[in-house]
């Protein structure tokens, strides 16, 4: 059996195991273990790899950003920031048709700036905004749909756990990835608001307008979101701003991991002073962060095992060489990759998809020449641009049936709303996501210009 055949067989077997409910981390790990054994011909090879692999993976400095950001996000959910954000946004937008739904989007975007997880964003904002929208007579489908979609802003707007994992796998600069995600993330929020406006233009009864809030109250409530602004500014400013112009390059105040630690401590301190983060709340935060952290590191460990097996077979490189040798149009290849994500996203979670596919897709992306509408990208730019596109399409998986975890989270908060109505409500937002992907594919400059300005 050639390396490529072995890799394909192993990949197929692993997918079968995954579809029979084998936890994804263990499916990747066991397949990688046995595959390495077969390629190298002895069981000693993967076994001696395992002596240090687990500890080295868990003690990786760049991965240590993940539990710190998870802890920060958990503190943020307890700190009352979500309510302040929603109040301020609905003051400013509530008097428009569909305004409270737009406010929910705005608040999700704000919360996404201090939380790197879509699930935490969806559930936190859902608790605040869903009762409010229902009280104001908003249609069930719009209320649940907008919150499920808004939740994805948690990961589209930096900090973002998935982007950290992508950056590590593709050996890219995490800071540049975060910067690149900023404009597409804001576009996502604006796109969702526009979707709400269009929706309510066709169905005015779905999102009744509220009374206009006086300017004094608006400004007062806007002032209450200062902790979000300060913490986001501190974290992003610290990791991305240039603090020493005298020297070449960007002299940042701290590394992304340190930024995550600063964010966690700042959010925790604010939580304690705002009264939301009690000792009990701290312990709850720890348990939630513990579960997500262990889940993520376990998959990453399995993926390490599997990817080192793939590297031994040289299959990813062979595949990339073959594809670039065939002279396929790069855009066709890109479309196939993105559609693969959309299809798998219907049943699989975003992190697993990234870990499974990037080792295969990334060499292909790097092997092709990218010039789109006259915009030529070098290898690093293509890597950043592809990472943002992949991030968006895997996040669409969170809101596409049958398995869209955000849909379930929001639906579990309003059990009287049939899930089918939530599915219908989220459809326009999925359309907005797809439109945005097309836009970002056609104009890579949208993603890349801010990186170019800052670095």
* Interface residue list for other proteins (CB under 8 A): 18-27, 29-30, 33, 47, 50-55, 58-61, 63-64, 67-68, 71, 238, 253-254, 257-258, 260-262, 264-265, 268, 282-283, 285-287, 289-295, 297-299, 302, 347-349, 351-352, 402-403
Q: How far is the CB of 324 from other proteins (least distance, A)?
A: 32
d(Cα 310, Cα 292) in Å, to the nearest integer? 26
Q: 230 vs 265, which CB is nearer to other proteins?
A: 265
What count of Cα atoms within 13 Å lies in the side-chain half-sphere of residue 201? 6
Which residue spans within 248-404 are E strands per DSSP? 370-372, 375-377
Q: 86 vs 232, which CB is nearer to other proteins?
A: 232
d(Cα 158, Cα 236) in Å, to the nearest integer? 9
Q: Contact 366/383 with Cβ under 8 angstroms?
A: yes
Nearest one of 283, 398, 308 to 350, comparing CA atoms: 398
Q: 53 vs 419, which CB is nearer to other proteins?
A: 53
Q: How far is the CB of 333 from other proteins (least distance, A)?
A: 26
Q: How far is the CB of 440 from other proteins (least distance, A)?
A: 27
Q: 244 vs 371, which CB is nearer to other proteins?
A: 244
Q: How far is the CB of 43 from other proteins (least distance, A)?
A: 11
d(Cα 112, Cα 328) in Å, to the nearest integer? 38
Q: 306 vs 385, which CB is nearer to other proteins?
A: 306
Q: How far is the CB of 29 from other proteins (least distance, A)?
A: 6
d(Cα 321, Cα 253) in Å, to the nearest integer? 41
Q: How far is the CB of 347 from other proteins (least distance, A)?
A: 5
Q: Contact 139/121 with Cβ under 8 angstroms?
A: no
Q: 221 vs 349, which CB is nearer to other proteins?
A: 349
281: which 2 tokens?
Answer: 């709340």
Q: How far is the CB of 14 from other proteins (least distance, A)?
A: 12
d(Cα 401, Cα 286) in Å, to the nearest integer? 31
Q: 2 vs 291, which CB is nearer to other proteins?
A: 291
Q: 33 vs 111, which CB is nearer to other proteins?
A: 33
List helix spans (H) across 314-378.
315-326, 330-345, 350-367
392: which 2 tokens?
Answer: 């968006």
Judge residue 291's burial from the number of C-beta atoms within 10 Å of its C-beta, 0-12 exposed, 13-18 middle, 19 or more buried.
Answer: exposed
d(Cα 344, Cα 394) in Å, to the nearest integer? 8
Cα separation values, 2 from 42, 252, 314, 326, 361, Å: 17, 47, 10, 21, 20
Q: 376 pairs with which residues across the strands?
A: 371
Q: How far is the CB of 233 from other proteins (least distance, A)?
A: 15
CA–chain centroid gap for 420, Å, is 25
Q: 375 pairs with which residues across the strands?
A: 372
Q: 86 vs 306, which CB is nearer to other proteins?
A: 306
Q: Contact 33/305 with Cβ under 8 angstroms?
A: yes
Q: How far is the CB of 188 from other proteins (least distance, A)?
A: 24
């Amino acid at each position: 059996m050639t390396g490529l055949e072995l890799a394909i067989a192993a990949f197929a077997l692993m997918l079968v195991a995954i579809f029979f409910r084998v936890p994804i981390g263990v499916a990747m790990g066991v397949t990688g273990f046995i595959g390495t054994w077969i390629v190298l011909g002895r069981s000693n090879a993967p076994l001696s790899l395992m002596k240090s692999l687990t500890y080295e993976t868990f003690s990786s400095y760049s991965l240590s950003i993940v539990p710190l950001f998870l802890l920060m996000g958990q503190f943020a959910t307890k700190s009352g920031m979500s309510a302040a954000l929603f109040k301020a946004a609905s003051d400013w937008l509530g008097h428009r048709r569909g305004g409270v739904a737009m406010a929910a989007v705005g608040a999700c975007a704000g919360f996404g700036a201090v939380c790197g997880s879509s699930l935490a964003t969806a559930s936190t904002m859902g608790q605040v905004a869903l009762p409010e929208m229902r009280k104001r007579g908003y249609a069930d489908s719009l209320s649940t749909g907008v919150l499920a979609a808004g939740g994805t802003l948690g990961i589209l707007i930096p900090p973002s756990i998935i982007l950290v994992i992508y950056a590590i796998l593709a050996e890219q600069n995490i800071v540049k990835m975060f910067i690149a995600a900023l404009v597409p993330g804001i576009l996502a929020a604006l796109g969702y608001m526009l979707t709400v406006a269009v929706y309510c233009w066709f169905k005015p009864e779905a999102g009744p307008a509220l009374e206009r809030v006086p300017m004094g109250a608006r400004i007062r409530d806007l002032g209450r979101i200062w902790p979000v602004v300060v913490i986001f500014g501190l974290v992003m400013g610290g990791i991305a701003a240039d603090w020493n112009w005298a020297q070449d390059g960007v002299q940042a105040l701290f590394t992304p991991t340190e930024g995550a630690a600063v964010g966690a401590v700042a959010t925790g301190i604010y939580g304690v002073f705002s009264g939301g983060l009690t000792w009990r709340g701290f312990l709850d935060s720890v348990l939630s962060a513990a579960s997500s952290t262990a889940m993520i590191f376990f998959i990453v460990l399995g993926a390490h095992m599997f990817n080192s097996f793939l590297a031994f077979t040289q299959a990813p490189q062979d595949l990339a060489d073959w594809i670039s040798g065939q002279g396929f149009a790069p855009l066709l290849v890109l479309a196939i990759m993105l559609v693969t994500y959309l299809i798998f996203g219907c049943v699989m979670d975003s992190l697993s998809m990234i870990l499974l596919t990037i080792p295969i897709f990334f060499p292909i992306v790097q092997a092709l020449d990218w010039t789109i509408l006259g915009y030529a990208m070098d290898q690093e730019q293509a890597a950043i641009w592809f990472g943002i596109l992949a991030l968006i399409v895997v996040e669409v998986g969170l809101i596409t049936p049958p398995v869209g975890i955000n849909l379930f989270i929001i639906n579990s908060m309003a059990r009287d709303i049939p899930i089918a109505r939530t599915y219908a409500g989220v459809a326009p937002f999925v359309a907005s996501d797809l439109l945005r992907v097309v836009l970002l594919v056609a104009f890579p400059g949208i993603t890349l210009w801010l990186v170019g300005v800052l670095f």
